[in-house]
Chain A
C-alpha cells in the first residue's frame, strides 16, 4: 500500500511535465532540443557500423590529409582515415565513459550525502571536510593525477572522472536532506515510530531525486568535457577505436600546417553532445527545481 502511494506520487510528478514540456516556454524547449541532440548522437554512434561510408579505423597511405571533397566530405587525417566515418563512429568511448562515470558518482555520492546529513555529528563533519577540500581542488588536475596512476581504458577513465565529481553530488544531497529533515511530515513519521531506514529511503529520498536528476544531467556534460581533456593530455583509450578526443589531439599537430578539417568536425561533435546535456540540465533545473536557480 505504502509503496504504491510513493510510486504514484512520483509518477504524477513526472508525467504531466513530459506532456506539457512544450508549454513551459524556453525551459521546456531547452529540454526537448537537448534530448533530441543527445538521442541523435547516441543513435548515430550505436548504428555507426551501418552509417559509415568507409571503415573509420582503416589506414590508407594513399589518401593522407585530403581536404574535404566529394569522396571524403570531411577530408582525411594523416593516416588516410575518412573523417566523416570517424565523426560518425567516434562518440562511443566518450558516451561509455560519461555514462559509467555518472553512474559511479550517483552510486558513491548519493549514499554518502544521505548518510552524512542524516547521521550528523562527527561523521558529517569528517565527510564535509574531505569533500570540501576535494571540491575546492581543480577537478581536471585531480582527474589527471588519478588517471595517470590508474592507467588508460574506459573503466579507469570513468573511475577517475567519477571520483572527482562525487563531492558535487554529496553537497547537493546533503543540503537538500538537511532542509527536508526538518519538515513536519518527517517529524510526523518519526513520532509515528517509523524506522530510520524507512524515513531515509521512503520519505526523504523521493524528494531528493529531482535534484539528483538535475545534477546528473549537468554532470554528463562535465564528464564528456573532462574525458576529452584527459584524452587531450594523452590519457585516452587505445587509438584503434575512433574517438573525437583523439582526433582533436592528433589534429593539433596537423593544425599548424593548415589542415583545419581534422580538428573542426570532431570538436563540433563534442560541443553538440555537451550542449545537448547542458540544455537538458538547464531546462530540467528550471522546471523541477525553481529554487536551485536562485
Chain B
C-alpha cells in the first residue's frame, strides 16, 4: 500500500505541470545554465529512470536531495518528524478523552436536552476550520490573557537534550565485552525456562530452542549496542519529543515550558477531532448500557461510575479504537494547518514551506512520510484490537 502511495505521489508531483528549474532563474534568458541546473537536479533523465532512482533511494532511507538548497531531504524530515509525532499523540489523547467523556454523558442523557446540546457540539466541531479555532485560542490565551505563548515549540536556548549517562571507556577490548554481555542474555533465558516450568508445560525441544534463540539474540544486541555506546563514551537517548526529552533529562522546568507551548496546538486539534469520538461513544454506550451484564452489575450494587466506566466502556471502546486508526489521517491533515497556525516546526510546516519553492523531492519526501506514518498507526491499531478483543486471534 505504501508502494502504491509512493507511486501516486511521484506521479502527482512529476507529471503535473511546474518546473523547479525556473525558480533558480529570474527570467528564461540563459538556456545553457538552465540545462546544467536540470542535469544537476536529475531532471534531464526520462521519467521512468527518475522513478526507479527514487524508489531505489527509498529502500536505502534516502529521500533525495532538496531541489532548493541541495541538502538531503531525509535530514530535514527526520528532524521535523518528532514535533509532529508529539503533537499528534497529545491531540489524539485529548480528542479521545473529551470524546469519551462527553459521549458517555450524552448516552446517559439520551434524547434529553443535554444530549441534543452535545450533538450540536459534535456537529460544530466538524464544521469549524481547525486553523480558525487555533486562531481564536491564540487570540484569547496568548494575545489577550498572555497566559500561553503564541507559537513555536520552546524558547530557543532551552531545548531539552534528553538522557545522557556518561560511561567509562571500554576496558579489556571487544572480546571481554562480548563475554560479559552473555550475562545479559542468560537472564531472559532463565526467566523463559522458569516461566515454562511454572506453567507446567512440557520441556519440548521446540521450547528450549526458542529460549536459546532468545538468549543469542539478546546477547548479540547487548554486545553491539553496548559497544557502540561505550566507544562514544556516553549513553544518549533523545527522542526529539520535547516533553519526553525533558522527562529523561529530569528537568521539571523544561517539561512545564514544553507543555505550555504544546497545550494550545494540541487542544485545538483535539477539540476538532473529539466530535467523531463523541458521536461514536454515544451510540455505542447507548446500546451497551441496556445489555444484561450492565444491569447485572448494577444489581450487585456497584457504583454507577464503575458500571459505566469499567464495565460498559470496555465494551464500547473497541469501535473507538478502530476510529482512532481511521481518524489518524484526518489528524495529520489537521496537523498541517495547526502547525502553520502555531509556527510549530513539524512536518506539516515543512511541507507548506517547501510548496512555495516547488521543491519536488522535499514535497515527495514529506508526503511519503505522512503515508508511512498512517500505515504504521493502522498496523498498531490492528494489533491493539487483537489484544483488547479476545475473540480476535492473530
* Alpha-carbon gap, A117 to B31, bound state (A): 51
- Whether A234 and B336, one on each chain, are in contact in the complex, defined by CB atoms closer than 8 angstroms, is no
For the complex formed, measure the closest distance between the CB of B159 and the CB atoms of chain A, giving whole angstroms: 23
* Alpha-carbon gap, A142 to B370, bound state (A): 10
- Whether B356 and A141, one on each chain, are in contact in the complex, defined by CB atoms closer than 8 angstroms, is no
Is B135's CB within 8 Å of the partner chain A?
yes
- Whether A252 and B13, one on each chain, are in contact in the complex, defined by CB atoms closer than 8 angstroms, is no
Is B196's CB within 8 Å of the partner chain A?
no
**Which one of B4, B9, B374 contacts A129 once the chains associate, using CB atoms below 8 Å?**
B4
**Which one of A146, A267, A279 contacts B135 once the chains associate, using CB atoms below 8 Å?**
A267
**How many interface contacts (CB-CB < 8 Å) are there between A and B?**
147
Stretch at the interface among B57-65, B122-130, B258-266, B305-313: B122-130
- Binding site secondary structure of chain B: helix
- Whether A144 and B336, one on each chain, are in contact in the complex, defined by CB atoms closer than 8 angstroms, is yes
- Whether B5 and A232, one on each chain, are in contact in the complex, defined by CB atoms closer than 8 angstroms, is no
Is A149's CB within 8 Å of the partner chain B?
yes
Residues of A within 8 A of B283 (CB): 293-294
A129-B4, A148-B363 known; A232 vs B337 contact (CB < 8 Å): yes
- Whether B127 and A278, one on each chain, are in contact in the complex, defined by CB atoms closer than 8 angstroms, is yes
Is A205's CB within 8 Å of the partner chain B?
no
- Whether B329 and A137, one on each chain, are in contact in the complex, defined by CB atoms closer than 8 angstroms, is yes
- Whether A149 and B18, one on each chain, are in contact in the complex, defined by CB atoms closer than 8 angstroms, is yes
Is B138's CB within 8 Å of the partner chain A?
yes
- Whether A138 and B135, one on each chain, are in contact in the complex, defined by CB atoms closer than 8 angstroms, is no
* Alpha-carbon gap, A141 to B12, bound state (A): 12
Stretch at the interface among A57-65, A78-86, A255-263: A255-263
For the complex formed, measure the closest distance between the CB of B352 and the CB atoms of chain A, giving whole angstroms: 5
Residues of A within 8 A of B9 (CB): 145
For the complex formed, measure the closest distance between the CB of B245 and the CB atoms of chain A, giving whole angstroms: 26
- Binding site secondary structure of chain A: helix
* Alpha-carbon gap, A49 to B370, bound state (A): 43
Is B351's CB within 8 Å of the partner chain A?
yes
Stretch at the interface among A15-23, A106-114, A184-192, A221-229: A221-229
Query: Which of A26, A142, A270 counts the most chain B CB atoms within 10 A?
Result: A142
- Whether A134 and B8, one on each chain, are in contact in the complex, defined by CB atoms closer than 8 angstroms, is yes
- Whether B355 and A233, one on each chain, are in contact in the complex, defined by CB atoms closer than 8 angstroms, is yes
* B127 to chain A: closest residue by CB: A274
Chain A interface bracket (under 10, 10 to 19, 20 to 34, 35 or more): 35 or more
* Alpha-carbon gap, A151 to B17, bound state (A): 8
Residues of B within 8 A of A260 (CB): 139, 143
Is B131's CB within 8 Å of the partner chain A?
yes
- Whether A271 and B374, one on each chain, are in contact in the complex, defined by CB atoms closer than 8 angstroms, is no
The 8 A CB mask of A238-255 against B (1 = contact, 0 = none) is 000000000010011001
- Whether B136 and A133, one on each chain, are in contact in the complex, defined by CB atoms closer than 8 angstroms, is no
**Which one of A26, A148, A282 contacts B355 once the chains associate, using CB atoms below 8 Å?**
A148
- Whether B374 and A137, one on each chain, are in contact in the complex, defined by CB atoms closer than 8 angstroms, is yes
- Whether B143 and A271, one on each chain, are in contact in the complex, defined by CB atoms closer than 8 angstroms, is no
Is B334's CB within 8 Å of the partner chain A?
yes
The 8 A CB mask of A124-135 against B (1 = contact, 0 = none) is 000001101110
- Whether A255 and B135, one on each chain, are in contact in the complex, defined by CB atoms closer than 8 angstroms, is yes
- Whether A232 and B131, one on each chain, are in contact in the complex, defined by CB atoms closer than 8 angstroms, is yes
**Which one of A139, A141, A294 contacts B367 once the chains associate, using CB atoms below 8 Å?**
A141
Interface residues of A (CB under 8 A from B): 26, 129-130, 132-134, 136-142, 144-146, 148-151, 221, 225, 228-229, 232-235, 248, 251-252, 255-256, 258, 260, 263-264, 267, 270-271, 274-275, 277-279, 282, 293-294
Given A129-B4, A225-B129, A229-B129, 8 more pairs with CB closer than 8 A: A133-B4, A134-B5, A136-B1, A141-B351, A150-B17, A248-B135, A277-B127, A294-B283
